[in-house]
Structures are given as structure tokens and as C-alpha cells.
Structure 1
Amino acid sequence: MTEQSATASVEVAADPSTAFRIFTEEIDLWWVRGPINFFDAARATAMQIEPGVGGRILEVYSPPDDVLELGKITDWEPGALLAYRSSVDDTATRIDFEAIGSGTRVTVVQSLIPGGDKAFYFWPNVVQWIPAWVDRRDGASRTPREVDRLAIALYYEDPAAAARWLHTVFGLDSWDKIPAEGTNPSWIELQVGTRAILLFKLTEKRTAQLDHGVWVYVDDLDAHFAHSQSEGAKILSEIHQHGYRCYEAEDPEGHHWTFAQARPTMP
């Protein structure tokens, strides 16, 4: 059964009017360009919100007139409320900006519309990215921060608990937020510099080969796949699209490798 709604709140060190501008005008700066944070990560170059009722929430590709419309704005009250109806699933999203002391509480509620059956509840993760940007934005570059081409995937029975342990014991951090006790986000990204460490749920019997995986971003995924096949690599899954475009292969000793299409903006 599809859950009916998902809610999340964060507090930011900015007044409501500034927090609203940050959310809307600076979305391309606070949106984490991690490996799995777009509907089409291989082509995404920017995120954009068009102002006003009727404006669109956009995932921008290259060339820039090629976009994916994520939703259309239904309410636009600067400093107070932003709401939109999704174009990619059957949800409506409401973002409230509430003054608290010298800051703002930003609350996102993403709800399944009556009669709907498809919901991508990504906002509880995404809204967590905003406070870190607010904290560093005064001295930060206005060039969106990209990740490196090499990422590591780690598989745990309890990814959230693992993230807390890795943060506390090893000092690994996140561009958004380490999950609190009792929370189980659908995906977790930690960072070492500009390199991403992806934490996933272990769904098969634990083995050395399934405990970890290496992700590599390549310029031409189709050519890379064809070369791997021609050289006799064991292909675990052919090229497929799941936000990122990728394929999986196994090396001679059974380690799993994921090769994904690099975005045009990746260095």
C-alpha cells in the first residue's frame, strides 16, 4: 500500500523572506548533485524554479531548452508558502516558511492526491540539504558543487545506524544531515571531500562481494558497456535507467562494479 504522505521540517538561520528566496532562487546551489539525486542524472545540468503561480519546477538538461517538468506551482506567497502539483507522480507538495526566533522553520508536506497511486516521496531527504547551504552560503562559491567520478557503495542491514556510526567514530560527514535515531531515509549519502559514499540496504545474504561496490562515472556509457562485453566481462545487469543511467558488471574475483553515465557538468 502506498503511504498517503511524507513530512519533514528543518530550521535555517535566515528570516522567512530570505529562506523563501534561498529555497526558490538558489535551488541549484543547495541541491546536492549526488549520484542518485535526479530523475535523469546522466543529463542533468541544473535545478530551477520559475517564480509565481503557474511556474514550473524543472530539472534542466543540456541543451538548456531540454527540461523535465517536475511540477507546476499552485501557490506562491513569498516568505510564507510555496505549493505545487507534481508532474511526475500523483502527489501535491506544500512548503511552509514559519518564523521561529531569528530563523525560519521550513516544513515540507508531500501528499498523495485522492485517487492517486504513484508517489516518489523524495522531499523528506531533499529538504535536509538546505541548512548546510544556508550556513555556508555567505562565503561559498556560486558554482554548484559537483561530486567526483568515483563513488563507493556500502551495504548495511541498517544503513541509518551505520551512517551514525561512521559519522561518530570515523568522522565522515554529509552535505545534508546524518539520520537521527528512529529515522530511516530511503537513501543516504556521506562525503569525503567531493567523493560520495552511498549507503544502501543489504537485501541479500551477506558476502564479501555484496558488502561493498564501486561506482565509476564515464563519458560514454554505451561505448564502455560494449567494450566490457567484447572483453568478456560478466554483465550482471545491462544498461538501465533509474534516476542514473548505468550497468553492473563483476570482476574475475566476484566484486561488483557499477558504471554510470557522467553528467555534462561533471569535471
Structure 2
Amino acid sequence: MTATAATATVEVPVDPDTAFWIFTEEIDLWWVRGPINFFDAARATAMHIEPHLDGRILEVYALPDDVLELGRITAWSPGNHFTYRSSVDDTQTHITFTPTDSGTEVTVVQSLVQDGAKAFYFWPNVISWFPAWLSRRDTAPSTPREADRLAIALYYEDPAAAARWLHTAYGLDSWSTIPAEGSSPSWIELNVGTRAILLFPRTAPNPPQNDHSTWIFVDDLDAHFAQATAAGAKILTPIHQHGYRRYETQDLEGHHWTFAQARPTQ
């Protein structure tokens, strides 16, 4: 049965008017350009919100006037809230900006409309990109961060637990957030530079686990090896030199990883 709603909340260290303006006007900067973060990632060039009642939420493509309408704005109150009715599924999304002692609480409620059947509840994954953007906004480039052309997909029984383990053992981070205990997002995106590692729930029974090895270059291989060992990673081959100085390890569900020493200029 389709869930009837999905809710997510983040807090940002700016006032509601500023938060609202950045959220809507700079969506193309804080929207992560990962390989699965658009309806047509092969053609998408931008995200855009038309800032008024009956304005459109758009996924923009390269050709003039070539867009995908994601929704239509049904309520618009700058600094307070806006609501849009989805054009791609049967949901309505209400986004509020509430003042707090330290800034603004941004809450997104994505709900199935009456008699609706289809819902893509992506906002719980997406909303964490917004505070991540604010934390680096003053020093970040004023053009969207492009994803690298290589991405890796890994399948786990528990992707959220795997993400936390990969963060602790291998130091992998995310442009958005590492999922907390008890959370179960539909997908998780970890990042190494501009490259994405996508974690998905395993659906096929007993798929092959060791038919690949993920390579990552790190600044300090010895420190990384010590971190992974302390976290309980299974070391398949300790640090050795053969072309690259590297070591091989296995994660908590059997995936193989190779960590190599990066060049000083890399």
C-alpha cells in the first residue's frame, strides 16, 4: 500500500526570509547533481522555481522551452511557506519556514492527494541538501557542482547501516547527510570528491557480492588503514606497493574496496 505522507525537517542558521529566498532562488545551486537526482538526468541542465502563485517547479533541459514541469505552486507566502501540486505524481508538497532561536526550521510535508495512487516521496532525501549548501555557500562556486562521470551503485540488506559503517570505517562522507539510526531512506548518496557512490536496498536473493572492487584514492593511506582496521574492517591485503601503494579490504556485507595513496597533486 502506498504511504500517505512523508515529512522531513532541517534547521538552518538564517532568518526565515533569507531561508525562503535561498531555498527558492538558489535551488539550482543546492540541488545535488547526482546521477539519480533528476527525472531525466541525461538531459537536465538546471532546476528552477518560478517565484509566484501558479508558478512552475521545473527541471530544465538544454533546448529553449524544453522543460519538465514537476509541479504548480498553489500557495506562495515569501518568508513563511509555499505549496505546490505535483505534475509528475499524485502528491502535494507544503514547505514551511518557521523562526527558531538559532535560525529557521524548514519542514517539508509531501502528501498523497485524495484518491491518489502514485507518489514519489523524494523530499526526505532531498531536504538535507539545503543546510549542506548553506554551510558552504559563502565559499562555494556560484555555478552548480557537477557530478563526475563515474558513479558506483552498491546494494545492501540495510543501506543506512552500511552508510554509517562506511562513514566510520572508511571516512566516506555525503554532500547531504549520513542517515541516522532508525532511518531508512530509499537511496543514499555518498561522495568522494565529485564522484557518487549510491547505496540501494538489496532486492534480488543472494546476488553476487564480489564481482567488483571500488577504488578510492586517499591523502594519507597509513592513517586510513589504521582507521579502517580500528573499525573492524576485514583486511584482505595489507598495505603494499605494486604500481600504486594500496591495500584491499572488505566491508560489512562482503563488498571489496581498494584504497590507494593519492599523488601529491591529485
TM above 0.5, yes or no, is yes
Residue 205 of structure 2 corresponds to residue 205 of structure 1: yes
Secondary structure of residue in 1 paired with 2:22: helix
Q: Could you tell me whether the CA contact under 8 Å between 1:154 and 1:213 is conserved in 2?
A: no
Structure 2 matches for 1:53-64, cutoff 5 A?
53-64=53-64
For residue 19 of structure 1, what is the aligned residue in structure 2? 19
Distance 1:174 1:23 in 2: 20
For residue 162 of structure 2, what is the aligned residue in structure 1? 162
Greater Cα radius of gyration, structure 1 or 2: 2
For residue 241 of structure 1, what is the aligned residue in structure 2? none
For residue 180 of structure 1, what is the aligned residue in structure 2? 180
Q: How far apart are 1:170 and its partner, in Å?
A: 1.2
Structure 1 unmatched ranges of 5 or more: 215-267
Question: What is the TM-score with the length of structure 1 in the denominator?
Answer: 0.77
Q: Could you tell me whether the CA contact under 8 Å between 1:152 and 1:212 is conserved in 2?
A: no
Amino-acid identity (%):
72
For residue 98 of structure 1, what is the aligned residue in structure 2? 98
Distance 1:64 1:167 in 2: 42
Distance 2:97 2:213 in 1: 40
Q: How far apart are 1:102 and its partner, in Å?
A: 2.7
RMSD: 1.4
Distance 1:26 1:212, change over 3 A: farther
Question: What is the TM-score with the length of structure 2 in the denominator?
Answer: 0.78
Q: How far apart are 1:113 and its partner, in Å?
A: 0.5
Distance 1:139 1:189 in 2: 23
For residue 231 of structure 2, what is the aligned residue in structure 1? none
Q: How far apart are 1:151 and its partner, in Å?
A: 1.1
The one-letter code sitting in structure 1 at the alignment partner of 2:105 is: R
Structure 2 matches for 1:8-157, cutoff 5 A?
8-157=8-157
Q: How many residues align?
A: 214
Q: How far apart are 1:14 and its partner, in Å?
A: 1.0
Secondary structure of residue in 2 paired with 1:135: helix
Secondary structure of residue in 2 paired with 1:139: coil
Secondary structure of residue in 2 paired with 1:76: strand
Distance 1:172 1:41 in 2: 24
Distance 1:210 1:43, change over 3 A: farther
Q: How far apart are 1:139 and its partner, in Å?
A: 1.3
The one-letter code sitting in structure 2 at the alignment partner of 1:145 is: R
Higher RCO, Cα 8 Å, sep 6+:
1
Question: Residues 240-267 of structure 1: CA distance to partner in whole angstroms, max 9, x if unpaired?
Answer: xxxxxxxxxxxxxxxxxxxxxxxxxxxx
